[in-house]
Amino acid sequence: MRIAFIGFGAQARENLIPACSTLFGVDIAAICDSDPAKCLEAAALFNFDKSRIFNDHREMMDRCQPDAVIVACYPTEHYRIACDAIERGIPVFVEKPVASTSQQVIHLAELAERKGVVTGTGMNFRFAEVTGRIKQIAGDNVQMISLRQMANKPVGTLWDYDSVLRSFLHAQTIHGLDLLIHLCGPVKRLSVANNSHGEKIMFSALMEFAGGAHGTLITSNMSPHFTFDLDVLAQDKLHIKSTGLNTISVAEVDKTYIQGENKRWCDIWAASPLSSGYSRAGYTGELLDFISAIQSGDRDSQTAISTLIETYRCMDAIEKQCSQLLAVNY
């Protein structure tokens, strides 16, 4: 399969292209970037001649006619490029954020459905090794879930956004929120406790899922470093905990260990030090799902743009409630 990359920035170089290189039968057909220096860098890295390096994504798609394109350029261009690819009938995988508004996400999903084009999104937490194991252990029996996801950025506006809050939602919150929805399904009710002030973002989102589970997302841009702590209560007796997307501990009520003890014990899983970081973090899985969907013609894959509509709807609700709370406080 011949895949063309649009955008040769850090995400493409450090994660997506290396992940593609681990997949059998995948060939990097062309590279496009609006920055001439990055084009030269790509040409040198892949030993490409001028016929495989482009500054304009439309020219690249028309001349190279790749089997699929992966969009990992500056996010303000994601929506427009995705539209151009879908209109040409070319399967397209778009890094997050796919678009700056829910309306744009819905339009892309509807356009892809109308044109019969396979799409994918860069939501790697869905495909992290830890996520797959949690789904296997808990199944559809999650009763309560809590995620503390914190970072030290962004502390200013990103891309074409006009607020730090929206920048934070689309750069950081989107991953944790999407993971909770992936594990528990659509959100029935959502309420926010907000303690944000200016560029300091701190809020908790309480969610009731349509399947009956409850969840909490606690997040901020004021942590000194990235924090990811996930707790899941399932099946009335299981407590599953994951830290840093690297380990899982499982404690089970009434499970007996040595000397008849049934407390203070748990089973622990940790990723193998020999496993690929791209696989462990979910980059390989999301791309493999996208490619498999192209091969099978399944437009309802786990990575389809349509699967992000619920995530964007919830981000809109969080942003609205946070803004209302700020207005009341002032």
| Span 36-55, average pLDDT | 91
Q: What is the spatial distance between Cα 243 and Cα 246, in angstroms, rounded to a whole number?
A: 6
Q: What is the pLDDT of residue 325?
A: 63
- On whether the CB atoms of residues 225 and 155 are closer than 8 A, the answer is no
**Whether 113 and 167 share a structural domain:** no
Helix (H) / strand (E) containing 137: helix 129-138
pLDDT at 211 over 50: yes
Q: How confident is the model at residue 115 (pLDDT cuts 50, 70, 90)?
A: very high
Structural domain count of the chain = 2
What CATH number is given to the structural domain containing 242? Answer: 3.30.360.10
Cα separation of the two ends of the chain: 56
Write down the pTM of the prediction: 0.93
The angle at the Cα of 46, spanning 127 to 9, to the nearest 5 degrees, equals 55
Kindly state the percentage of the chain with pLDDT values over 90. 78
Q: What is the pLDDT of residue 330?
A: 42
Q: What is the pLDDT of residue 22?
A: 86
Query: What is the pairing mode between strands 2-6 and 267-270?
Result: unpaired
pLDDT in tens, 69-93: 999 999 999 999 999 999 999 999 9
Helix (H) / strand (E) containing 32: strand 27-32
Q: What is the pLDDT of residue 194?
A: 94
Q: What is the pLDDT of residue 64?
A: 93
Our measurement of the distance from residue 279's CA atom to the centroid of its chain's CA atoms, rounded to an integer in Å, reads 14
**Whether 315 and 293 share a structural domain:** no
Q: How confident is the model at residue 269 (pLDDT cuts 50, 70, 90)?
A: confident
Q: What is the pLDDT of residue 123?
A: 95
Question: Picking from 163-177, 212-226, 291-305, which range would have the lowest pLDDT averaged per residue?
Answer: 291-305
| Span 137-142, average pLDDT | 91
AA identity, residue 109? A
pLDDT in tens, 119-134: 999 999 999 999 999 9
Strand segments (E) across 186-288: 187-194, 202-209, 214-220, 227-234, 238-243, 247-252, 267-270
- On whether the CB atoms of residues 214 and 204 are closer than 8 A, the answer is no
| Span 306-324, average pLDDT | 95
pLDDT at 329 over 70: no
Quick one: which of 42, 66, 119 has its CA closest to 303?
119
**Whether 116 and 130 share a structural domain:** no
What CATH number is given to the structural domain containing 34? Answer: 3.40.50.720
Structure tokens that stand for 96 in this block: 């997050």
Structure tokens that stand for 302 in this block: 């786990």
**Whether 315 and 295 share a structural domain:** no
**Whether 217 and 258 share a structural domain:** yes
pLDDT at 33 over 50: yes
Q: What is the spatial distance between Cα 193 and Cα 218, in angstroms, rounded to a whole number?
A: 9
What contacts 21, CB < 8 A, 6 or more positions away? none
Q: What is the pLDDT of residue 263?
A: 67
- On whether the CB atoms of residues 248 and 130 are closer than 8 A, the answer is yes
pLDDT at 189 over 80: yes
**Whether 299 and 245 share a structural domain:** no
Structure tokens that stand for 43 in this block: 């040409």
Count of CB atoms situated within 10 Å of the CB of 93: 29
Q: What is the spatial distance between Cα 216 and Cα 223, in angstroms, rounded to a whole number?
A: 18
**Whether 114 and 129 share a structural domain:** no
Would you give the DSSP letter of residue 139?
T
pLDDT at 274 over 80: no
Query: For residue 200, what are the domain limits?
Result: 125-274+311-329
**Whether 112 and 166 share a structural domain:** no
Burial of 323 (0-12, 13-18, 19+ CB in 10 A): middle
Kindly state the percentage of the chain with pLDDT values over 70. 95
| Span 264-274, average pLDDT | 78
Q: What is the pLDDT of residue 276?
A: 64
Q: What is the spatial distance between Cα 269 and Cα 125, in angstroms, rounded to a whole number?
A: 18
